[in-house]
Amino acid sequence: MEPFAVRALVRRLIEDQTFEGREELLAQVPFLRVVGGPVTLLELEVDAAAVRPSAFLGGPAPGCAWVRSADGETIGTMIVWIERGYLSALEYGWMTDEPPTELPAVEQIFS
């Protein structure tokens, strides 16, 4: 999984929202890496020695993000998960017959 693409998506999903702890989560993005999972639920890890935890301690990051196809149809949703104040997962829910096989481009995300 291309780390740049994952980081760009996570950044976009967090930037679009306003909540306590947002800035700390954005600071974690450069230190983020994918450690497992399928494209629909990527397990993420942040180098905790490089950045501090967020005041937002756990659960899905606030807000809602949708994925749009090239023809403008809504085809999915994306959620960033937080655990102990650190980015922990990127979930890609689909609304199509088949699960996605690749992550969407940042340009396909809308709130």
38-84 pLDDT per residue, tens: 999 999 999 999 999 999 999 999 988 999 999 999 999 999 999 99
pLDDT(94) > 90: yes
φ, ψ for residue 36, nearest 5 deg: 165, 180
- How do residues 28-51 score in pLDDT, each as one tens digit? 999 999 999 999 999 999 999 999
- Displacement of CA 44 from its chain's centroid (Å): 9
Whole-number pLDDT of residue 111: 86
- The confidence band for 85, taking pLDDT boundaries of 50, 70 and 90, is very high
Work out how many domains the chain is built from and give that number. Answer: 1
Domain hosting 41: range is: 3-110
